[in-house]
Amino acid sequence: MPSREASASRREQRIDRRALISEIYSYLKDADIASIEFEGPEIAVYVKNPRFLLEGEDKVKELARRLRKRIVVRTDPSVRKPKNETVKFIVENAPEDSGVKPDEILFDDVLGEVRVIADKPGKLMGKGKWFANLVLAKTGWRLVAQRRPPPPLSGASLVSVMEYAVRMASERRKALRNIGERLFRDRIKGVRVVRLTGLGSFGEVGRSAILLDTGESKILLDVGASPDTIGTEAMPYFDAPEFRVEDLDAVIITHAHVDHIGMLPLLYKYGYRGPVFMTPPTRDIASLILRDYIKVALREGREPPYREQDVDLFLQHVITVNYGVVTDASPDVKLTLVNAGHILGSAMVHLHIGQGLHNILYTGDIKYYMVKGSKAHRLLQPASTNFQRVETVIMESTYGATEQQPREEAEAQLIEVINRVYKRGGKILIPTMAVGRAQEIMYVIHTAREQGLIPRDIPVYVDGMIYDVTAIYTAYPELLAPQVRNLIFNEAINPFVDEHTIYIHDPYKREEIVSEKETSIILATSGMMTGGPVIEYFKRLAEDPRNALVFVSYSAPGTLARRIKDGEREFSFEENGKIRLLRVKMEVESIEGFSGHASRSELLLFLKYLTPKPRLVILNHGEPNALISLARAIARSWQRLRFQAPPEIVVPENLETIRVYPRQTSLHTAPCHVKEAQRQHGKPSSPPASG
């Protein structure tokens, strides 16, 4: 039997919802409302009058502002035209040259959207969205245009995510409504204490996972895996007493690198059915990365921690949020994602807790620079620094103790190596991560070609998952840096696609590439040489002194890449059942200036320009020496960093819980207290990953 208190709570919840629904019906009475549903963080209003979606937009915005809720208006399924008729209407009436293909028109029954991949999505929507409005008025479906990657890239990965949404429409609808039931529940306790527990990435780099507990709700920030270990050692501390899957209200992901998303499907494997918030590009890339994580484990004869169906469950429950959009993450926490400048779709997480009680900024991985026109990051704009309120910041410290090689020097070094190898007729092999680093290097090579700094006709072969990830990059040019966006939009130049960039799909092509007499550049995964196509190229190129192996990414201890960097030159490989001794005679170069992380000076600059200034600074995602060095630098230079008063600086351990609200500093502790915590749990720490 339910308790009297539980019955009262449910009764209050029903009354609250009844009043909310009543106000919506009253305010939108001319919309011909068919039903109102709570779907994820949104209140979905289904209407039988499609024109209201065009004419009532301002009215809906005003109602959302008054209720402080996200309200979306969708056509009721009963007034939507059959899909075959809608496809026919779009194909026959689409603006000329928009590049619409019937087999790339997909329908999302949950959202009432018809999603079209087009060469020119802006042209398809029409000036003032006239064509999108026409489609809505004539068919009842809301038109959403997605940019098609240019040939030879393919939109297959984007289409696969869209097709999955179509196939699993009923499951997604059920998932969203279950999430809505929990998210719009009546508050039980209200915020009294806000606590953070590090389940990973404290005193180390990798397996990022932070548990936020407000008393009312529990939210997990990132669910990463360690990049240099396997098994349970790669996982966050899911066995911490503070953590129970069944208590989670939400998961928020900053970006799609393995050390931030690698263990996300494991939550769904063990029963989590709540929302996971991320940006649209992060969803698309994560789908690729997580499925590849499974394939790599199986290829190496290991049992993966989760299966494809667990990745599918994650996709059913994902809620995408664009930069700057405020949404409810739980009954007492509002979420805003803002640009982090690290990789495509990477986000910092701003959390507004309670009715203005406390605000937390979790940076995830960031890249920050101030000089206009800086080459610090070719593809993305720097991390955002302006917020309305920030009391606590959790900041990455990967390079908290070191400065990176200046970007100009790194690019000059790469260009010099390419020209040197070109003169002697060799080949340049660049092991690289598929997400972020590969696209950055491709852009640098493209720019060097255009400026005549390297031979214009030198072919660049791109092998591995780089192909699919690059296609996703080209699908979101609006999120790239202005100079790249301008190339794609206004000059019709794509830095990832030209006559001298060849994407490899056939493994048998690799032998032909290494046998060619002409000089070429080969970009292949994986960056740490732990597997992937780069190994096949390495075996064939290593014993020729004319060739060069160029590292542009971090290499974890114990990996083949790190062993080569450290000077090892003889390796044994099994081939056709026999052991082959490989002697490395190719030139080995390591270039350290291409990191997507902020250097020590950039981290300090980020704090300097962060507005407003936090009272509490928590440092994570770094090795102990980097964390302590950065903490001391902040403590020494707080005035130069424009703090009005010394902030409290904390360097926690994994499994340590920090109360951030209400925060009480000990009378015996200086305001700039630096807790020099050393890791006492789990595997030994390793050098920082340059992700």
Pairing verdict, β 460-463 and 501-504: parallel
Which pLDDT tens digit goes with each residue over 48-65? Answer: 988 888 888 899 999 999
Task: State the CB neighbour count (10 A cutoff) for residue 230.
Answer: 15
Task: State the CB neighbour count (10 A cutoff) for residue 503.
Answer: 20
Domains delineated in the chain: 4-77 (3.30.300.230), 80-179 (3.30.300.20), 185-402+596-661 (3.60.15.10), 407-590 (3.40.50.10890)
Return d(Cα 649, Cα 675) in angstroms, integer.
8
574, pLDDT greater than 60: yes
In this predicted model, which residue has the larger pLDDT, 438 or 9?
438
pLDDT at 175: 93
Return d(Cα 162, Cα 157) in angstroms, integer.
9
pLDDT at 663: 81
DSSP-derived letter for residue 384 is P
Mean pLDDT of 358-368: 96
Which pLDDT tens digit goes with each residue over 71-97? Answer: 999 999 999 999 999 999 999 999 988
In this predicted model, which residue has the larger pLDDT, 152 or 90?
90
Nearest to 51 by CA among 70, 23, 32: 32
In this predicted model, which residue has the larger pLDDT, 9 or 470?
470
Place of tokens 């190898």: 421
Which pLDDT tens digit goes with each residue over 497-526? Answer: 888 999 998 888 999 999 998 999 999 998
Mean pLDDT of 320-328: 95
pLDDT at 687: 35
Which pLDDT tens digit goes with each residue over 102-142? Answer: 988 989 888 899 999 888 888 899 888 999 999 999 999 99
Mean pLDDT of 583-587: 95
374, pLDDT greater than 50: yes
Which pLDDT tens digit goes with each residue over 475-500? Answer: 898 999 988 888 887 667 888 988 89
Nearest to 73 by CA among 106, 41, 109, 48: 48
Residue 190 and residue 9 in contact, taking contact as beta carbons nearer than 8 Å: no
Confidence of residue 372 (pLDDT cuts 50, 70, 90): low
Q: What share of the chain is helix, strand, coil (3-state, %, to 5)?
A: 35, 20, 45
pLDDT at 12: 38
In this predicted model, which residue has the larger pLDDT, 682 or 61?
61
- Residues 6 or more apart whose CB falls under 8 angstroms from that of 596 comprise 341, 342, 343, 365, 367, 377, 436, 437, 440, 690, 691
pLDDT at 671: 42
In this predicted model, which residue has the larger pLDDT, 360 or 369?
360
Residue 154 and residue 505 in contact, taking contact as beta carbons nearer than 8 Å: no
In this predicted model, which residue has the larger pLDDT, 511 or 683?
511
670, pLDDT greater than 80: no
In this predicted model, which residue has the larger pLDDT, 168 or 367?
367
685, pLDDT greater than 60: no
Burial class (CB within 10 angstroms; exposed 0-12, middle 13-18, buried 19+) of 222: buried
pLDDT at 258: 92
Element (H, E) at 220: strand 218-221
Return d(Cα 362, Cα 194) in angstroms, integer.
14
Which pLDDT tens digit goes with each residue over 184-230? Answer: 887 777 778 999 999 999 999 889 999 999 999 999 999 999 877 77
Beta bridge partner(s), residue 147: 118
Which pLDDT tens digit goes with each residue over 266-300? Answer: 999 999 999 999 999 999 999 999 999 999 889 88
- pTM for the model stands at 0.90
Give the DSSP letter string of 503-539. Answer: EE--TTHHHHHHH-SS--EEEES-TT-SSSHHHHHHH
545, pLDDT greater than 80: yes
pLDDT at 38: 93
Amino acid, single-letter form, for residue 308: E
pLDDT at 10: 39
Which two tokens mark 169?
């429409």
Which pLDDT tens digit goes with each residue over 380-434? Answer: 999 999 999 999 999 999 999 988 888 899 999 999 999 999 999 999 999 998 9
Amino acid, single-letter form, for residue 490: N
pLDDT at 249: 96
Residue 399 and residue 592 in contact, taking contact as beta carbons nearer than 8 Å: no
In this predicted model, which residue has the larger pLDDT, 679 or 246?
246
Return d(Cα 23, Cα 626) in angstroms, integer.
54
Q: In what order do the strands lie in the sheet with 587-590?
A: 501-504, 460-463, 521-524, 428-431, 548-551, 587-590
15, pLDDT greater than 50: no
Return d(Cα 39, Cα 35) in angstroms, integer.
12
Percent of the chain scored above 90 by pLDDT? 65
Mean pLDDT of 586-602: 92
454, pLDDT greater than 50: yes
pLDDT at 130: 92
**For residue 542, which phi and psi values (nearest 5 degrees)?**
-65, -30
Amino acid, single-letter form, for residue 20: L
What average pLDDT does the chain have?
88
pLDDT at 125: 92
